[in-house]
Every structure is written in C-alpha cells, then in structure tokens.
Amino acid sequence: MTTITVDLPEQVQQALNRTPGEMSRDVKLYAALMLFQLGKLSSGMAAQMAGMPRVEFLYLCGEYGISVFQYTPEELEAELAELSDV
C-alpha cells in the first residue's frame, strides 16, 4: 500500500470540526469519489481506495449525486438504439 501525506492548515480541521482520523477517511473517500466520477477508477477500485465494500461506495455515490453509470451520451444512444431494435 502506498502512503501519502497531505498538509492541511489547522483552520481547515477546525472549520470542519473533524479529528485527524476522520479527516484522513474523508480525504480518501472524496478522492475516490472524484476519481470514479472522472472515469479514472472503476467503482471496485474506488471502493478499495476508500476502504469500504463496493455496495457501500455505490450507495455513497448516490448520496453525493455521482452517477454510477459510466456511459458517454454516444454510448447511451447506441445502447438505446440496440434495445429499440429488439
């Protein structure tokens, strides 16, 4: 496992009212959510990065308004066209 260090001003921790452990979990989760949203990681890899089961990660995607469907508009149109032919 790779370890990284992120320096945050104390004011950020105070403003968020989070312990260092909570901040660490939050940063890992938010980074995983963003990398998944950008299509850089699969949901399984992002869940692993966040340290949680995939199902829980997908639930949190919904809580944060992140679509779990990774279709481009073109892919979605092609998929719908195939379904209408059936």
Give the residue extent of every domain in the chain. 14-85
Mean per-residue pLDDT over the chain, rounded: 91
Residues 6 or more apart in contact with residue 53 via CB below 8 angstroms:
47
What is the C-alpha to C-alpha distance for residues 86 and 62, in angstroms, rounded to an integer?
31
Residues in the chain: 86
Q: How confident is the model at residue 85 (pLDDT cuts 50, 70, 90)?
A: confident
Supply the pLDDT for residue 86. Answer: 66
What does the block give as tokens for 75?
């892919």
CA 37 from chain center: how many Å? 6
With the C-alpha atoms ordered 60, 80, 45, 31, is the resulting torsion angle positive or negative?
Answer: negative
Supply the pLDDT for residue 50. Answer: 97
Q: Tell me the per-residue pLDDT of 21-58, one tens digit each, with 9 for 90 and over.
A: 999 999 999 999 999 999 999 999 999 999 999 999 99
- The SS3 assignment for 41 reads coil
Report percent pLDDT > 70 for the chain: 99
Using a cut of 0.85, tell me whether the model's pTM lies above it.
no
